[in-house]
Every structure is written in structure tokens, then in C-alpha cells.
Amino acid sequence: MRLRPDQLARQLATLAPVYLISGDEALIVQECADQVRAACRKQGFTERQVFHVEAGFDWERLVAEASALSLFAERRLIELRMPTGKPGDAGSKAIERYCQHAGDDTVLMILCGKLDGSSTRSKWYKAVDGRGVTVPVWPVDAAQLPRWIEQRMRQAGLRATPEAIQLLADRVQGNLLAAAQEIEKLRLYSVDGSVNAETVAEMVGDSARFDIFGVAERALAGDAGATLRALAGLRQEGTEAQLVLWSLSKEVRTLCSCAEQIAQGHGIDRVLDGAGVWDRRKGPVRAALQRLPLPELRQLLQLCQQIDVATKGGSADDPWQLLDQLALRLAGVR
């Protein structure tokens, strides 16, 4: 069953055995995933396991874990993070087998990037769509962004003038994570819930501010000093570490995927085009691929997982210190 992101909450009253959330809009994908996690907790799925699909991933682990009895809880959520959306032959068969034998005590949530036409026509995708729920997350283009911002402001209890909405849309330039942050800031500082253009102009920073994606851009460019200053600025502003991790981990996954394809003999230009890297970003991405070998990138993926655990209170590590390490290593500092 295919649903839009805004239809997911209603469906979660009765959990499906499988969910597939896909797309490049990190904020919306994460919020959909959070809704599934919250619904699982509410309905007694108290254990959570996370698998990261990387080169050499053992797909039999997924099938085995799904059928194994849990030692800690009767019901559990299994998250399968598959950045490329390409499980390969072994992965396709494993997902199909899972869908055929999915039980009531386990929910599988697959998170991946944007899926192309061949993926949505594949047997594994059809198996998920027939047995569970697929949620494709489409980009919010420039024409749709003001309406998206208006809806988001209403949800936050804000009443904004058309001029304020358009000014905010111009300032964030399609960055939904930045837009969500700015709306939250406006909510906190608004006295009566009214927002006009003057308020936005005063409170919403311009492109020079320390934004989430700015950290990733500085790290890709290899500017370690600017990267640390940007991270410090975000921390001082009260930005959630999880939001910063989304941006940095997205870059690491893209680099790792590109490096794997290059190692298989594919040309870098073709690989970058296939990964959807914009022309203006190809230079920094090329430079990052040259200074970061594939084993290093795989280690960075593991560090991203470690930070994810820390941001959720699953370890005693300081997530901001780990983010410093991740950003510096991404910038080429060992």
C-alpha cells in the first residue's frame, strides 16, 4: 500500500509488518521514521535493532534475526538502513522471503534514498508494497515551498503573512531542515503567534549563518577550521545533534557509495551523475573522494552509527565530541 507522508500517521493505528520510507528529503524521511518508531513503542514493540546495508552485508542476518525469538522483548522493530535502495540479488530475495513470512511480533522498517523506476518495479519492492506500506518522499520544489512553510507554521501555532512566508522561503533556499529550524525559532520567540516580514527579516539568518548543511559543505571542502567553528555555532544555537548527524551522514553515505562504484571500475563522472551530485558540488565531492579511501569511509559510516546511538542516550559518549571527530575526518584530518 502506497501512502503520502501526511497519510502515514492515520495508518499507524494498526501497524503493518513492513514499512519502506524512501526519498532524499532528510527531514521528512526522518519524521516519517520517527512516527513509525513512536507507534511501535506505543503498541509494545519495545526492542529495536538497526542494520546498515554496506558492501558485503550478510542478508541472512536479516532473515535469521526476524525469525529468532527475542531475549529482551516479545515484540521488536528492525530498522534496515539501505542508502542506495539497491539490495542486489541476495538482498532482494531476503526481503521477499521476509515479506512472505513476516509475523505479528516484528515490524521491519526500511529506510533508503530516492528509488528509481527500476527499483519500484522490482520484485522486492512489490513484495513490500503488497505486504506492508511504502512511503515515497518527493522533493518540495521552489513553487511548493511557500505552501509547505505555511502548513508547517500553522502546525507550530503561527499565523504568518504571505510576505513573511515568501521571505522565509527565499532565505532557506529549499533547505527543509533549515526551514524547520527557523520556524521553531519563530515559535519560541513569537509573543502572540503572529509573524510578519519584519519579524522574519530580524530573526532568520542569511546564508552566512551556521546552518546544518554548511557544516557538511565546509567538511567536503577540506576546511577543518571553518568546520569546527560551524559546529560550535550550531551547538551554541541549541541545534539538535541528530539534525547535524543527518547532514554529515548523508554526505558520508554518498561518498561511500561513489567510492564503491569507482572501485568497481566505473568512471567518476558517471558515478557522480548517478548519485545526483549537483555540478557546483562535484569539485568538493571529487576532492573528498581523493583524500578519503574506501576503508576510511566505511569507518566513518560506523562512526555515524556510534553517534546515532549517543544522540538517543544509548551510550555515555558525548555526541558533539563525536560529531567533531566525524567532521574533521571528513575534512581529511586524522
What's the average model confidence in pLDDT over 74-84?
Answer: 86
More confident residue, 179 or 191: 179
Cα atoms in the 13 Å half-sphere on the side-chain side of 188: 10
The per-residue pLDDT for range 254-267, each reduced to its tens digit, is 999 999 999 999 88
Min mean pLDDT across 34-43, 154-163, 205-214, 266-275 is at 205-214
* Spatial separation of the C-alpha atoms in residues 174 and 152, rounded to whole Å: 14
pLDDT of residue 326: 94
Alpha-helical runs (H) found in the chain: 8-11, 26-42, 59-67, 88-101, 117-120, 123-131, 145-155, 162-172, 176-189, 197-203, 212-220, 224-236, 241-263, 268-274, 279-291, 294-311, 319-330
Taken in order of first residue, the domains within the chain and their CATH numbers are 5-137 (3.40.50.300), 145-203 (1.10.8.60), 212-330 (1.20.272.10)
Q: Model pTM greater than 0.75?
A: no
Q: Which residue has the higher pLDDT, 199 or 106?
A: 106
Model confidence at 141, in pLDDT bands (50, 70, 90)? confident
Which of 255, 189, 183 shows the shortest CA–CA distance to 216? 255
Report phi then psi at 38, rounded to 5. -65, -40
Residue 71 has pLDDT above 60, yes or no: no
Cell of 246: 543527518
Residue 128: all three cell numbers together: 513490500
pLDDT number for residue 206:
45
**73 falls in which pLDDT band (50, 70, 90)?**
low
Pairs from 158-163 (Cβ < 8 Å, separation ≥ 24): 158/183, 158/186, 158/187, 158/190, 158/193, 158/194, 158/195, 159/193, 159/194, 159/195, 160/194, 160/195, 160/196, 160/200, 161/195, 161/196, 161/197, 163/196, 163/197
Give the pairing type, strands 133-137 and 47-52. Answer: unpaired
Q: How far is CA 239 from CA 55, 210, 232, in A?
A: 32, 10, 10
174 pLDDT exceeds 50? yes
Question: What pLDDT does residue 208 have?
Answer: 33
Report whether pLDDT(286) > 80: yes
Helix H or strand E segment including 72:
none
Cell 557544516 found at: 215
**Could you tell me what percent of the chain has a pLDDT over 90?**
36
d(CA 275, CA 279): 12
Can you give the pLDDT at residue 281?
77
pLDDT of residue 68: 64
